Structure 1
Amino acid sequence: MINENVSIALVHYPAMDKEGKLIVTSFTTMDLHDIARPARAYEVRSFYIVQPIDAQRLVIKRQIDYWLSEEGRAANPTRYEIVQLVRLKYTLEEVVEDIERERGKKPILVGTDARKYHKTIGYAELKREIEDREREFLIVFGTGYGLPPDLMRTFEYILEPVYGAGDWNHLSVRNAVAIILDRLFSKNRC
């Protein structure tokens, strides 16, 4: 993997609803495939799903187990390949511990949001830091109406929002992951 010092995490808790209250969001089956695909295409090390609810975890685990089985591999070898990147954890802290245990370094946490924060880092600057290969990075994506501000304040960096042609930037997390990974790692950037 070219970007072996980068992992991504999709966080279902803590998340916010539209009023800013803390919630646990539900897993969407499309997220597994539609985030694992760009994770593989841009050669990040791992795609973590953070989900604390056991009933939701069962659904996720069944999908992972099927696509990693011989039956799943025979049905769709590409899906077998991408699902190998997926790891299921209860908390973001478990993700950090997993990366530190495997890589020997605690990752730099990079938050993502549709809003701009004071610790915002641009794509070119983050790309340069990643390409130094000196540190581990975990890019954290929220669900629902985003990650709570208290969590955002704990991140070393917050990546600048994804803007399109105008001011509107309320994308699905699947779209945001693909765009962000492309901006950081694409070979054919303008």
Structure 2
Amino acid sequence: MHNDHVYISVVHYPALNKEKKWVCTSFTTLDFHDIARPARTYELAGYYIVQPLEAQQFVIKEQIKYWTEGFGASFNPKRSMAGSLVKVVSSITEMLEKIKEEKGKYPKLIATSAKKYPQTVSYSQMREILNKKDDVYLILLGTGWGMPPELVESCDYILEPILGPGDYNHLSVRNAAAIILDRLFSINRC
């Protein structure tokens, strides 16, 4: 895998609601394939779903099993390949420990946000960093109304926001993941 030093994750906790309070958001089954497939296309090491709620974890694990071991694996082998990248964890800490077990070191964290922070880096800067393959990296994608600023600011890097021509800026995590991965790893750069 070309980018086996990079992971992506969807963080359901901590997330913010409209009132800027910490909440746990719900997993949507669309997030499973709509992020796993671009993660596989761009040859990432894995895709983690951070979800502390046991009932939600059960749904995610059943989906993983269906697409990697069950009828789905034989029905659609390409989705099975993508599904094999997906892992569910209870916390960011657990995810970091699992990546360390696999790669021998903790990943550098890359936050995503719809807001610009002082330490924001451009996609071209991040591509250069990732192309060196000197470290392991983890891209954190927020849900709800984004990740708490404390989490974003604690990361090693913060990617610039995805902006359109107007002031509307509220993409689904699935759309954002595909755009971000394409900007960072596409071989067909404009």
TM-score (normalised: structure 2)? 0.98
SS in 2 for 1:163: coil
Confirm or deny: 8 A CA contact 1:50 1:90 kept in the other structure: yes
Partners of 1:180 and 1:25 in 2: CA distance:
21
Deviations 1:78-128 (A, max 9, x none): 111100000110001111111111111211101001001111011111111
Q: Which amino acid aligns with 1:159?
A: L
Q: Which amino acid aligns with 2:104?
A: G
Match of 2:24 in 1: 24
Match of 2:3 in 1: 3
Q: Are 1:176 and 2:176 an aligned pair?
A: yes
Partners of 2:72 and 2:183 in 1: CA distance:
32
Q: Are 1:80 and 2:69 an aligned pair?
A: no
Matches within 5 A, 1:50-65: 50-65=50-65
Match of 1:71 in 2: 71
Confirm or deny: 8 A CA contact 1:46 1:86 kept in the other structure: yes
Confirm or deny: 8 A CA contact 1:67 1:80 kept in the other structure: yes
Match of 2:154 in 1: 154
User: What are structure 1's unaligned runs of at least 5 residues?
Assistant: none
User: What is the percentage of aligned positions where both structures have the same residue?
Assistant: 52
TM-score (normalised: structure 1)? 0.98
Deviation at 1:185, TM superposition (A): 0.5
Deviation at 1:70, TM superposition (A): 4.3
Match of 2:134 in 1: 134
Match of 2:187 in 1: 187
Confirm or deny: 8 A CA contact 1:119 1:156 kept in the other structure: no
Q: Are 1:98 and 2:98 an aligned pair?
A: yes
SS in 1 for 2:9: strand
Q: Which amino acid aligns with 1:151?
A: L
User: What are structure 2's unaligned runs of at least 5 residues?
Assistant: none
Cα RMSD for the two superposed structures: 0.9
Deviations 1:20-46 (A, max 9, x none): 011000000000010001101111110
Poorly superposed stretches of 4+, deviation over 3 Å = none
Match of 1:113 in 2: 113
SS in 2 for 1:153: helix
Q: Which amino acid aligns with 2:75?
A: A
Confirm or deny: 8 A CA contact 1:141 1:173 kept in the other structure: yes
